[in-house]
Amino acid sequence: MERHEMGDYEFRDPIHGFIYVRPLEKKIIDSRPFQRLRGIKQLALTHLVYHGAEHTRFGHSLGVMHLVSKAFNSAISKNTPFSKEQADWYEQILRLIALTHDLGHAPFSHGSESVFPDGLEHEDFTDNIILNTEIADYIREIGAEFVHKYGSEFDITPELICSIYHGKNVSNPDFIFLKKFMDSELDCDKMDYLLRDSLYCGVNYGKYDVDRLISCLTTYKKDNNVFLAIEKGGINAFEGFVLARYFMFIQVYFHKTRRFLDKMLVEYLKTSLPNGRYPDNVDDYLEWDDALVWRNIKRDEKSNYYADRLINRKIMKMVYESPTHSNIQEKKMYNLIKNDMQKMFGCENILFDSVEKMAHKIPAKYEIDNEKTIPVLLNYSDQPSTISIESGIINKMTEPIYIMRLYAKEEIEHEAEAFVKQRMKDMMD
């Protein structure tokens, strides 16, 4: 990191080049809660499959902040709906949301979310960290700077950051517009993680034309409300973006070995954490990162079944995998084979896994009030269209990803594999 001659600080990023950070934002970055993200891998245990996937939530958070500035300024540049004061304020709010949006992630990110205290998610921990640590003071400093520059109506508080990100603050209709940059089918969180995950995993599945996509963002105004939209010329770039996400889920995020390792991690944590859960106290929670969990796993290698499998990379053999988009008949087949395997080999020798994900959540028709709608502005009409109408590719991507797998322990893997093949043959006859 270096000090830029304009007064900002710059980070050299492998995805985006130079990322510029404002002095008060740097206070957040240098804080203990944010520095903790250096020790939280973006893709959990994926580095045990794709060895390059050692990247962390730290770099991702900086990348999202960088992209959200570019996307916001690109969108409002064509049809400016805001005053300069509003635009500066909104951009700073978005930068703070982007910078802090992953603060609450547990060790190994999504891989261990199922051992949160009952009823809590990583977003709840993020809110707690923003509101109840030094992060709150630094956000208030930024707010005070805006109040001094533009007036009291331009204050920024920790509560404002949390409420806009979660869509709970509707006192200003523009806040709904801002939320789209961080939580929609066209958000900067996805824009960054696809490119970042693709690079570090050494695969091409997540690549798309981010510059073209951002350059085609615009705004659409109806009944004094501003909506994030895309120009018709950006449809192909958006198709590439959606397809990149689809392929990354199939090839990386839902990889058979990564899914197995995640299950071993969760089971280890359930057997090793007090009450099988992370602490709910924010100070205690911030002590946990990947390194602490991995040290515990190494400590328990000889005494814990799941720790042994993780440390020594003992991967069960996958003996059955359904099609990527399983239908009702294929789900029935899976359940029959699963039940037969339980009877034949015992539950303790078989591991079951199923995962489901929508390829996208874009409505098939234009609904201005639907939060997932992405309006497409047409040169020949005042009425916007929607991506699903303008893109035949996306319109056809309606079936959810639904993958079911069966794994068998090493001592029965050959017998189990033969058993599955025979059962499938019997069902087909």
User: CATH number for the domain including 103?
Assistant: 1.10.3210.10
Count Cβ atoms below 10 Å from residue 305 Cβ, excluding itself.
13
Return the pLDDT at 363. Answer: 61
Give the CATH number of the domain where residue 352 resides: 3.30.70.1370
Domain-embedded: residue 301: no
In a domain, 83, yes or no: yes
Do residues 234 and 206 share a domain? yes
**Statement to judge: residues 354 and 376 lie in one domain:** no
Residues 347 and 203 in one domain: no
Residue 8 falls inside a structural domain: yes
* One domain, residues 338 and 234: no
Residue 243: give the domain boundaries. Answer: 2-41+56-251+371-394
pLDDT value, residue 210: 98
d(CA 305, CA 382): 63
What is the distance between the alpha carbons of residues 166 and 143, in angstroms, rounded to a whole number?
A: 19
**5: Cβ contacts below 8 Å, ≥ 6 apart:** none
- Establish if 171 belongs to a structural domain: yes
User: Residue for token digits 């635009």?
Assistant: 87
Shared domain check, 95 and 217: yes
Both 113 and 239 in one domain: the answer is yes
**Alpha carbon distance 29, 308 (integer Å):** 36
| Residue 272 forms part of a structural domain | no
321/246 same-domain check: no
For residues 224 and 347, state if they share a domain.
Answer: no
Token output for 26: 């740097």
Is 324 in the same domain as 390? no
Which residue matches tokens 């058979």? Answer: 256
Contacts of 422 (CB under 8 A, 6+ apart): none
Helices (H), 226-317: 235-248, 256-272, 282-285, 290-299, 305-311
Q: What is the pLDDT along the chain (429 residues), one digit of tens a residue?
A: 455 544 589 999 999 999 999 999 999 999 999 999 999 999 999 999 999 999 999 999 999 999 999 999 999 998 889 999 999 999 999 999 999 999 999 999 887 888 998 878 899 999 999 999 999 999 999 999 999 999 999 999 999 999 999 988 778 999 999 999 999 889 999 999 999 999 999 999 999 999 999 999 999 988 888 999 999 999 999 999 999 999 999 999 999 999 999 999 999 999 999 999 999 999 999 999 999 999 999 999 999 999 999 999 999 999 999 999 999 999 999 999 999 999 999 999 999 999 999 877 776 555 555 666 778 898 767 788 888 788 888 887 878 999 999 999 999 999 999 999 999 988 887
Question: Which pLDDT belongs to residue 364?
Answer: 57
In this structure, is residue 280 part of a structural domain? no
Give me the residues paired with residue 320 across strands.
Answer: 406
Helix locations, 37-114, DSSP H: 57-78, 84-100
Q: How far apart are CA 364 and CA 49, in angstroms?
A: 36
Domains contained in the chain, number: 2
240 and 200 co-located in one domain: yes
Examine residue 125 and state whether it is found in any structural domain, yes or no: yes
Instruction: Please report the pLDDT score of residue 372 as a whole number.
Output: 64
Q: What is the DSSP letter of 41?
A: B
Kindly state whether residues 321 and 383 are assigned to the same domain: no
376 and 423 both lie in a single domain:
no
Gap between the Cα atoms of 63 and 80, Å rounded: 25
